[in-house]
Amino acid sequence: MPSKLFSPLSLRGVTFKNRVFVSPMDQYSGQDGVPNAWHFVHLGSRAVGGAGCVIQEATAISPEGRISPGDLGIWNDVQRDAMRPITQFIKDNGAIPGIQIGHGGRKSCTAAPWLGGATVSEAEGGWRPVLAPSPIPFSPDSLMPKEMTAQDIVKVIEDFRNAARRSVEAGYQAIELHAAHGYLLHEFLSPLSNQRTDSYGGSLENRMRLALEICAVVRSAMPDNLPLFVRLSATDWVEGGWDVAQTIELVKQLRTLGADLIDTSSGGLVYNAKVPSGPGYQVPFSAQVRKETGMPTSTVGVITAPMQAEQIVATGQADVVMLARELLRNPYWPLHAANTLGANVDWPLPYERAKAH
């Protein structure tokens, strides 16, 4: 039986050659939001390695939206132009270049993980204030965020619109809206981090408002033939927080606004949440969202083996698997997985001599 994992997937006018996508992974290695040789090699090697889509790390829509000073950004044309050679190389090697755009919210202004991940002072390149729906810090060691005003919200919406426009101009053929992992849009969704009393807080309808408004403006800034993904945390893993039922309601509305795929993840909002991690632990969320909304989904989280990934897609639990750490360990995982699954895929011509082995 032909491999489902290595069958093509079409969303709008874009056809992905297979269903192995590179999950966006922050590299914390940019300068003023501009990519460099590290990003070219990091992203380009995953295209050479056979992935169907290579999604660039969470790319900030504004300087204050960065998670760390080393994050990439797409708030100006210098950044956009520096990304064009990367997207072209990805296309030239048979993959679809994607970009995740987002705002770090109350989790902004932190050091790279290998530097400890603590708050960065202004002298070290940090900034003040960090923004959030409510003045509730992420953890006891985090900065107290500033509650966003109506004007702040208007600016964020416009920043997302401009980021989407520049992403298309840079050559990305898929855009992912980051509304997961405890960053700004997820903070608005969850009642644990959103305690506003205006039209952006309180009821589920109000807490979803910003994510839906941003989905609409991002979609309007994209050509009709390019797909829009949305990454969601299906649950906060904390009672009384964001959960699967609310996720499903949000997805139904995202679909009407023109979203094309839900990148289903979980967690990230609460620093001490108990997450029962293990192989494929987030797959049931993808399967439930897909079943109850009819929306194409991807899944991520401790997916490491070719047969595991094949089973997820072949049984309809997700349309796509996103690999993160496994593709850091082995950029050529898709080529090896195709061999394991008996799928006939093209290798890069300079590597063709190694295909038989």
Q: At what angle do helices 204-220 and 244-256 cross, to 10 degrees?
A: 40
183 is catalytic: yes
What is the amino acid identity at position 205? E
Integer Cα distance of 328 and 55 in angstroms: 13
Task: Point out which residues pair with 22 in neighbouring strands.
Answer: 54, 323
Q: Is 306 exposed, middle or buried (0-12, 13-18, 19+ CB in 10 A)?
A: buried
Cα torsion 49, 170, 62, 217: sign: negative
Q: How large is the C-alpha radius of gyration of the chain? A: 19
CB-based contacts of 345, cutoff 8 Å, min separation 6? 6, 17, 18, 50, 334, 335, 338
Q: What is the DSSP string of 322-340?
A: EESHHHHH-TTHHHHHHHH
Are the C-beta atoms of 49 and 4 separated by less than 8 Å? no
Take residue 309 and report the two structure tokens written for it: 């990934």
Q: Tokens at residue 80, please?
A: 């956009």
Question: Given 28, 172, 183, 200, which residue is catalytic?
Answer: 183
Tokens of 224: 């009709």
* Closest to 22 in 3D by CA, of 325, 316, 236: 325
Element (H, E) at 79: helix 77-92
Positions annotated as catalytic residues are 183
